[in-house]
Amino acid sequence: MSAITAHKDPKLPPAVQLPEGPDWVNSLTLFDAHVAETLVAVVRTLYPHEGLPERVYRRTVFQFDTMAAKAPGAAQTFAELIDLLDGATSLPFIELTESYRVRALKGIEESTAFRLVQRSAVRFLYDDIEVWQAFGYEGASVQLGGYVNRGFNDLDWLPDPPPGV
Amino acid sequence: MTSYQLDDDGVVVIIGSGAGGGTLANELAQRGIEVVLLEAGKHLTADDFVNDEWGGYEMLSWLDKRTSSGTWRVAKDHPLTPSWSCQVVGGTTTHWSACCYRFIEDELRARTVYGEVPGTSLIDWPITLADLDPYYDLAEAKMGVTRTNGLPGLPANNNFKVMYAGAKALGLNVSTGRHAINSVPYDGRPATIQDGFTITGDKTGSRWSTLNVEIPRGLATGKLELRSSARAVQIEHDGAGKASAVVYVDAAGVTHRQKARAVVLAGNCVESSRLLLHSKSGRFPDGLANGYGHVGRHYLRHLIQTVWSVFDKPVHMHRGEIMGGMIDDFVRHDPARGFAGGYYIEMNSMGLPTTAAFMDPGWWGRDFASVIEQYANMAGIFMSGEDMPQAGNRVTLTDEVDAYGVPVANIHYDDHPNDLKMRVHGYKTLTSIHKAAGAKRSVEAPAYPASHNLGSNRMSARPEDGVLDGNARAWEVPNLFIADGSNFATGGACNPTLTIVALAIRQADFIAGQMSAGEL
């Protein structure tokens, strides 16, 4: 993609570092491995970006776990989602291939559980700095002097408007 | 620091420190009037703000629960956050994108110019453009609005180059517009560094806000006391039916009662209507100033929508000021278009996090993914149009109470057929502009939570048509005023802040005049 470098505001905490491999689930407070891996599969089915590594989706589920640990209502809703999806066919959701996963998710689209997970997935996945980097969003800039000298008007494939327009 | 006693009944108490309340506080203090300014949120500084969309949203927004109903899509997409304003010193001026356009004469005479539109509660404003123009001049000067007072416009950025190319190809009148953002240093504030985060609080001070301009200047007079983290919960009146005190809760949870010579509500539409409705008494059984039943009604939120388009090559729309583009060809009422009122086209950009969240809430799957992963090649264009007032579109109180014992507000909004016609016209125009610039694909994004909240305590020429007279003073309570967008008689098309500020300066003149004359 483009030659950009993404930055989070320096006042914000850095992105969580999860272990590579199946041990990542040990970083979670509430979710067990089945719930966590099922949620990773859900988020990947909702927002399938071939170029993004598994750790990005895992970090999103880590955020779900943090939400659930803080709010019992949210924890219950995540549990409901897993029950709905595992009950949708004779196989657990995690065992399904993409077309069946999509069908299972479409079947529960109107549920509160789906809504919470879908909205939370958007909220956290696209706020991940590795996703920003991959899709060309540079993020925080004030600590670098903004974009005034860093390309705020560098588009060169259309004619420049006249000065003062 | 100036400090007034709670039993000092000589002070004007203003509730809310945003565009209306913060400006009015300073304007009154400059005229020697003693003011207590109550703000529910914290007093943050530029150093507290972050260049981060969600971080800024969570830091600044009024996040208390609300509910919603009606046919508007917001009720489905954002049922518990249908309206967006800020809870922080400076109010929503800490967040805004700084577009500064004036109402046109026809918009202030909407009922006369548009004629009867079935199902609406259209009225004319009780004031004219001639009444407002001198105050628009003052507002533009104090805010440092570009393209006024010799100030240059904002420079064209990448997203604007796309908008410009498309608009020119279609023969439209396009410029970078007018903004309360410094294109050059002005009034002790620096020029923009194009950081792209004007809506998460302004870290450099290049944009006008009441936080960085009005409130410090008001405090410097020695006449203004600011109380932050002070949540107003009730307005009281005396035996003569005049507002006499504001009950509020401080950060420690302690309840206080500040006596008042006059009270001004400036808490944005939802909170101002909610406080009036909640301030019931034997004399005002349906809420303060609500004898004709208009408090909370005729709620407006503008026809806001964005088109996001994908191009073959990079745009990097996140770089630079976010709304520096404007087309005014569709502002004037034109019956030939088949709908009443008009709309502004403006540039819009968002970062990846909020573009993903608001492009089409609920959209998921491979199609969505294929669009959002081309973020670097996306451009945005937006419209703000006039929605039709309807008596049933309103703020009401629910049976649920919040932590302060005040009922949670519900916002009901049904789309009017005129709104649909204008939305369709707008989407076609926005898309055609991007197509003319070479867009591969355009996505019609729906409205996000309402940020142009207007009209729910409207001014009117006759007491039976609204809540307030032409000075935004309550018809029924002679020392009670409103200084936020809820006082608009109709919405017009343009972003409302400039008009809120102009009305607040005008109101300061009126209040000072009344006080000098011994009438208030």
Structure tokens at A67: 């939400």
DSSP label at B103? P
B51 touches chain A (CB under 8 A): yes
The token pair at B204 is: 């450099």
pLDDT in tens, B155-194: 999 999 999 999 999 999 999 999 999 999 999 999 999 9
What global pTM score does this model have?
Answer: 0.98
Distance of alpha carbon B489 from alpha carbon B146, whole angstroms: 27
Nearest CA in chain A to B357: A122
Q: What is the pLDDT of residue B451?
A: 92
Transcribe B456-499 into DSSP letters: TT-B-SSGGG-SB-TTSBBSS-TTEEE-SGGG-SS--SS-SHHH
Domain locations in chain B as residue ranges: 12-517
| Regions of chain B with pLDDT less than 70 | none
Q: Which residue of B has its CA nearest to A149?
A: B193
Q: Which residues contact A105 (CB under 8 A, 6 or more apart)?
A: A42, A45, A46, A85, A114, B364
Tell me the pairing of strands B378-385 and B394-401: unpaired
Burial of B168 (0-12, 13-18, 19+ CB in 10 A): middle
Query: What was the pLDDT predicted at B1?
Result: 85
Q: Do A135 and B373 lie within an 8 Å CB cutoff? A: yes
Q: Do A145 and B193 touch (CB under 8 A)?
A: yes
Contacts of A2 in chain B (CB under 8 A): 314, 316, 376
DSSP secondary structure code for residue B211 in this structure: I
| Residue among A102, A150, A160 whose CB faces B365 most closely | A102
Interface of B with A in 123-152 (CB under 8 A): 152
Q: Which residues of B239-248 are buried (b: 16+ CB within 10 A; e: fewer)?
A: eebbbbbbbb
Interface size between A and B, measured as CB pairs under 8 A: 159
Q: Which pLDDT score, from 0 to 100, does residue A1 have?
A: 43
Does the distance separating the beta carbons of B374 and A135 come in below 8 Å?
A: yes
End-to-end CA distance of chain A: 31
How far CA B223 is from CA of A85, A86, B4, B44, B490, in Å, comes to 63, 65, 9, 21, 34
β-sheet with B343-347: strand ranges across: B174-175, B326-327, B343-347, B378-385, B303-310, B441-445
DSSP state of B102: P
* 8 Å CB contact between B407 and B398: yes
Q: What is the pLDDT of residue B288?
A: 98
Question: Does B319 contact A150 at a Cβ distance shorter than 8 Å?
Answer: yes
Structure tokens at B64: 């208390």
Those residues whose C-beta lies under 8 Å from the C-beta of residue B461, and which sit 6 or more positions away, are B123, B124, B126, B470
In angstroms, what CA-CA distances link B466 with A34, A75, B166, B282, B298? 59, 47, 42, 21, 9
Which three-class secondary structure state does DSSP give residue A133?
A: helix
Q: Return the amino acid letter for A127.
A: D
Strand partners, A6: none
Q: Token pair for residue B232?
A: 């107003």
Helix (H) or strand (E) holding B353: helix B352-358
Contacts with B476 (C-beta within 8 Å, 6 or more apart), sequence order: B241, B284, B288, B289, B290, B291, B463
CATH of B12-517, one of 3.40.50.300, 3.30.460.80, 3.40.640.10, 3.50.50.60: 3.50.50.60
Inform me whether the C-beta atom of residue B352 falls under 8 Å from chain A C-beta atoms: yes
Query: Which tokens sit at B186?
Result: 């002005």
Contact assessment for residue B123 and residue B465, using Cβ atoms and an 8 Å cutoff: yes
Q: For chain A, 165 residues long, give each residue's pLDDT as a single digit of tens.
A: 458 999 999 999 998 999 999 999 999 999 999 999 999 999 999 999 999 999 999 999 999 999 999 999 999 999 999 999 999 999 999 999 999 999 999 999 999 999 999 999 999 999 999 999 999 999 999 999 999 999 999 999 999 999 999
